[in-house]
Amino acid sequence: MKNKSTNLRVRLPALIFALEVMIVVLYAVFVTYEDDANALLQNNQTQPMENSLYKNYPFFADIQVMIFLGFGCLLAFFRRYGFGGMVFNFLIATFTIQWAILVQGFFQFYYDGKIHLGVLNLINAEFACAVVLISFGAVLGKTSPVQLLIMALLEIPVFGITEWAVVKYLKINDAGGSILIHIFACYFGLGVTFVLYRPSLNEGHPKEVTSYQSDVLSVMGTLFLWVFWPSFNSALTFKGDDQHRAVLHTFIGLSASTITAFALSSMLSKNGKISMADVQNVTLAGGVTVGASVDMMISPAAAYVLGILGCIACMLGYKYLSPFLARRLRLQDQCGIHNLHGLTGLISSLAGICGILLATEETYGPSLYQTFSHRAPPEGDPLLARLQELIPDLEAGLGRTAQEQALFQVAAVFVTIAMAAVGGLLTGVVLKLPYLASPSDEKCFDDELFFNVPPDYNCVNGPQDVWSYVLRDTNKTDADQI
C-alpha cells in the first residue's frame, strides 16, 4: 500500500499552482520587454542584425543544453533513480529560471518601475539555475519534488542577495562564476544536507548503486557539460579578447583535467581499472578551476596546470574527504559537490587572486582597465582621459590597486561561503517540516515512490536481465493460454 505521507496528489499540484499564480501576478505587474525586444522602440533607423539577441542567443542556447541535458543526464546515474535524476532536474530547472528572472531582475534589471526582460536576463537566470542544480546534487535521491521546489524557492533569493552584495559592493572579478556559482552552490547544498542528515545511510543503501545503462547515460551528461562549458565560462565576459581567452582557457583546463582523471582513476583503483564515477565527475574539474581567472592573461600553461590541480583535488576529495565528511561532520554529499565545485572553486579563487596581483600594463596594455574594470581611474582623473583616447568605451573605475582588488576577492569568498552556509542550514530546517512528502530511508533512491514505473522497472541490471524478464512474461502468458 502506498505511504500516504509521500502521496503527491494534493501536495505537488497545490504548490505548483500557487507558485504559478504568484509568478503570473509578479510578471504582469513588474516585467516588460527590454529595448531590443520592444516593438514600440523600433523605427527606420533600427538595424535588426545589431539586436542584442544575435550576440547573446548562442550562449543562451549552449547553456540551455548544459542545464537540461548535461545536468539531467549526469544526475541519472543511480540504477533505480533515473527518472528522479532527469525529471526532477527538468522540473526544478524550469521553475528556477522563471523565479530567477524576477529575483535577479529586481536587483540588476529594474528601472522605471519595471524589470526589463531580454536574453541577457535569461542567461543570468540560467546561471542561478545552475546554482540550484548543483545544490540538488547534495540531496539527490533523498528528497521529494515538493521539497526540491521549496529549496529552489528559498535558494534563489539568498543567491540573489549574495550576488547583489558581492557585485555591487565588493566588485570582484569572477568571470566563470567560481565564487558566486560553484562555491555558493556547494556550501548551500552542504548546509541543506547537514540538516537533512540520515544516520542509517552512512553505511550505504542497497539502492545506492549504478547500472551499465545508468552509467552510460550519466557520461552522456558529462559530455554535454564538457562540450558546452566554454560557453558557460565566457558568456558574460567582456566581448573581444577577454572572451576569446575564456574559451581557450576553459578548453585547455578541461582537457588537462580529463586526461589526468583517467590516469588517477586507474592509479588509485585497487584493481587498476577506470571508475565510471571518476569519468563522470572528475573530468569536469578543470572547467571550475579556471573560472575565476578565465579571462585573464594567465597563459595557456597556467590554465593547463589549473586543470591538473583541480583534477587532483577533486579525485582525492571523492576518495578520502567525502567519506570522512559523512562519518564525522554529518555531511552526506550524495554527488560529491564539495569535491567538484567546492574544492575546485577555492583553488580557482586563489588562482584569480594570483592573476590579479600579477596583472600589469606591461602584460595587458591599456586593456588592463577593461579586464579589471575596478582598477580603472575614477571619474575626473587625468589618467582616465588619456586612457579613453586609446580605448574610447573605457568607463571610470574605482582606482583600486592590485593588492586592494585581491583583498576584495578574499572577502567575497568568505562572504559567499557564510551566506550560502547559513541559507542552506535555514532551508534545511524548512525542508524538515512535515507534509513535504519526504521519502523514508528505505524508499530513498527509488523512482517507484514518486513515478508510475514501466513493467521492466525491476530489470535494470542489464540487457540479459531484461531478456530474462521478457522470457518469463512470455512463458507466463503461454501457460495462461493453456
Quick: pLDDT tens for 397-411.
999 999 999 999 999
**Does some domain include residue 136?**
yes
CA 373 to chain centre: 26
Quick: pLDDT tens for 52-72.
999 999 999 999 999 999 999
pLDDT at 468: 44
How many residues in the chain?
482
pLDDT band at 476 (very low <50, low <70, confident <90, very high): very low
* 198 Cβ contact list (under 8 Å, min separation 6): 142, 332, 441, 444
pLDDT at 466: 43
Task: Answer whether 34's CB lies under 8 Å from 117's CB.
Answer: yes
**Does some domain include residue 392?**
no
Rounded to two decimals, what is the model's pTM? 0.93
> From CA 8, how far away is CA 2, in angstroms rounded?
11
Q: Mean pLDDT over residues 27-38, rounded?
A: 96
Quick: pLDDT tens for 409-467.
999 999 999 999 999 999 999 999 999 999 999 999 999 999 999 988 876 544 444 44
Are 411 and 460 within one domain? no
Edge-to-edge, what's the strand order for the sheet holding 114-117? 31-33, 114-117, 110-111
**Does some domain include residue 388?**
no
**Does some domain include residue 182?**
yes
Higher-pLDDT residue of 203 and 322 is 322
> From CA 251, how far away is CA 62, in angstroms rounded?
15
Quick: pLDDT tens for 75-115.
999 999 999 999 999 999 999 999 999 999 999 999 999 99
pLDDT at 465: 44
pLDDT at 455: 86
Are 325 and 212 within one domain? yes
Range name among 1-15, 116-130, 171-185, 286-300 with the lowest pLDDT average: 1-15
Q: Mean pLDDT over residues 160-166, rounded?
A: 96
Q: How far apart are the first and last CA of the chain?
A: 32
Domain ranges, residue 288: 10-358+401-442
Residue appearing with cell numbers 547544498: 189
Are 180 and 42 within one domain? yes
Q: Count of domains in the chain?
A: 2
**Does some domain include residue 366?**
no
**Does some domain include residue 224?**
yes
Q: Mean pLDDT over residues 185-208, rounded?
A: 94
Are 46 and 75 within one domain? yes
Beta strand pairing call for 31-33 and 114-117: parallel
Higher-pLDDT residue of 49 and 19 is 19
- Please state, in angstroms and as integers, the Cα–Cα distance from residue 351 to each residue in 75, 294, 305, 307, 309, following that order: 29, 10, 11, 11, 11
What CATH number is associated with residue 408? Answer: 1.10.3430.10
Residue appearing with cell numbers 526582460: 117
Q: Mean pLDDT over residues 109-128, rounded?
A: 96
Q: Mean pLDDT over residues 191-201, rounded?
A: 95
What angle is formed at CA 332 by the lines to CA 330 and CA 334, rounded to 5 degrees? 175
Quick: pLDDT tens for 34-57.
999 999 988 767 788 889 999 999
Are 437 and 456 within one domain? no
pLDDT at 42: 86
> From CA 79, how far away is CA 85, in angstroms rounded?
10
Are 414 and 469 within one domain? no
* CA atoms lying within 13 Å on the CB side of residue 115: 22
**Does some domain include residue 376?**
no
Q: Mean pLDDT over residues 361-370, rounded?
A: 94
Are 456 and 322 within one domain? no
Are 336 and 225 within one domain? yes
| Mean of pLDDT over the chain | 92
**Does some domain include residue 382?**
no
Residue 51, C-alpha cell as written in the block: 539586436
> From CA 259, how far away is CA 415, in angstroms rounded?
34
Task: Answer whether 96's CB lies under 8 Å from 132's CB.
Answer: yes
Best CA proximity match to 155, nearest among 180, 188, 119: 188
Are 159 and 90 within one domain? yes
Q: Mean pLDDT over residues 296-310, rounded?
A: 98
Are 19 and 122 within one domain? yes
- pLDDT higher than 70, residue 2: no
Are 168 and 282 within one domain? yes
pLDDT at 460: 55
% the chain with pLDDT above 70: 94
Residue 30 buriedness (CB in 10 A; 0-12 / 13-18 / 19+): middle
